[in-house]
Amino acid sequence: MKQNPFDTFTDEYENWFIENEILFQSELLALKQVVPIDKTGIEIGVGSGIFAEKLHVTCGVDPSVKILELARRRNSTVCQAAAEHLPCLAKIFDFAVFITSICFIDDLMNAFKEVYRILKKRWRNYRCCH
């Protein structure tokens, strides 16, 4: 099994947000425009929970054991899991977010299928353009 880089570089990951505070705040401001505040959500690839904490997303999954320790300190309910195999019941979340995690997922189609499975509202007939 290959080593997870977020287990190896946990401190460097967390320090990036401190060293790049302006970029982090800019990303956070953009996300606050689209992440619901009155719904139940999950962050896929929650990492240290830095975004989840600020966006009031209380649940998260991440494959890195070490980085999840930081998320727990931020009062996130988290568990070790890959996006392709979410340990969640079906239809329990109003929304799911992937914040800078899609590029780390091995099987993106399966990850999206898993998210579809855990979301309450189904968007089968949804069209963004008329």
Percentage of the chain beyond pLDDT 70 is 92
Q: For 29-81, how does the pLDDT look when each residue is reduced to its tens digit (9 = 90+)?
A: 999 999 999 999 999 999 999 999 999 999 999 999 999 999 999 999 999 99
Give me the residue spans of the domains in the chain.
5-12+39-118
Q: From 3.30.590.20, 3.40.50.150, 3.40.350.10, 3.40.640.10, which CATH number describes the 5-12+39-118 domain?
A: 3.40.50.150
Percent composition of the chain: helix, strand, coil (DSSP 3-state, to 5): 40, 15, 45
Residue owning tokens 């992440």: 35
Residue 16: what residue type?
A: W
- Rounded distance, CA 122 to CA 120, Å? 6
Task: Find the mean pLDDT for residues 84-106.
Answer: 95
Q: For residue 3, what pLDDT band results from cuts at 50, 70 and 90?
A: confident
